[in-house]
Amino acid sequence: MQVDTRWQRALGLLAALGLPLLVNAQALLSGNQFLTPQLQAMQQDADANPVTLWVEKGQTLWRNGCQSCHNNPDTLHTSAAQHPRLVTRNGQTRLVNLEDQINLCRQRAGQSPKGVEDDDTLSLSALLHSIGKGQAMHVQAPADAAGQQRWQAELAQGAQIYATRLGRLNLACVHCHDGKVGAALRAEVVSPGHPSGFPVYRLNWQNLGTIDRRLRACYSGVQATLPPSGSPALRQLELYLKVRADGMPLDGPSIRR
């Protein structure tokens, strides 16, 4: 298999930063490929797919609140593929993901911010991810030297979290999502953990959820202390996962068991 040039760039960046190169190009598989035939059929049927409800609500919210600034949502078709980003606000710089950015937009419009798992936030995220479907994930460092240094530090921290044993089970992300891909874990099959399908509707949640929620569920799964929703550690880990999956097309929102 020929290695994609985007993957080569990602490997080059991780190597230059001294970060772990944990996945080979052949492992760039979407979580959608690990669904049962029944769930794949549900995902492909807009009438049966519960995600449709959030996308439709997102369209309504967009018309009533976002359109005056951003016009058609298609103008932001690359946004989901390019977050998280470094944003400086009130003199403080931090990583923000797409759901964070939605709330920053709310604040700029004079509205009260909401949580990343708020139904309105999820609906707008679902809309923007659906519009971005097929876009290659490609998060980038800022152009300025100080921004690049900060971005690389955030990325390095995310890589460290990915490889660090946590919780009472004493497991790291790498042990499942690199070492056990394809193995059965309870009722699921372990995927490489590439974040191309978010936000996801999980049947056991009976709700749509962000990557923030899914990462916290992994902390719970290894019986580790859960970081607060929106914490820097979760954003750093998301950044690393996006760089690790550089070049993969977005294929969410999607369904999971």
DSSP the chain: -PPPHHHHHHHHHHHHTT------GGG---GGGGS-HHHHHHHH-TTT-THHHHHHHHHHHIIIIIHHHH-SGGGGTTHHHH-SEEEEETTEEEEE-HHHHHHHHHHHTTPPP--TTSHHHHHHHHHHHHHTTTPBP-----SSHHHHHHHHHHHHHHHHHHHS-BTTTTB-HHHHHTTSTT-EETTEE-------S-SEEETTTTEEE-HHHHHHHHHHHTT-PPPPTT-HHHHHHHHHHHHHTTTPBP--SEEE-
pLDDT above 80 (res 24): no
**pLDDT, tens digit, 9 for 90 and up, residues 202-221:** 999 999 999 999 999 999 99
Q: What is the spatial distance between Cα 140 and Cα 170, in angstroms, rounded to a whole number?
A: 32
CA 39, 43, 49: angle at the middle one, nearest 5?
A: 110
* pTM of the predicted protein model: 0.89
- In this model, does residue 2 exceed pLDDT 90? no
pLDDT-above-70 percentage for the chain: 89
Is pLDDT of 15 > 70? no
Place 156 in a pLDDT band, splitting at 50, 70 and 90. Answer: very high
- Overall size of the chain counted in residues: 257
Return the pLDDT at 79. Answer: 97
- Is the pLDDT at 96 greater than 90? The verdict is yes
What's the pLDDT at 4?
40
The predicted pLDDT at position 17 comes to 53
For the chain, give the percent of residues with pLDDT over 90: 80
Give the mean model confidence (pLDDT) for residues 4-9: 45
What would the pLDDT profile of 113-154 be if each residue is shown by its tens digit? 899 999 999 999 999 999 999 999 999 999 999 999 999 999
- Give the pLDDT confidence of 25-35 residue by residue, as tens digits: 446 899 999 99
CB 245 within 8 Å of CB 9? no
Closest C-alpha among 57, 95, 99 to residue 213:
99
pLDDT at 186 over 70: yes
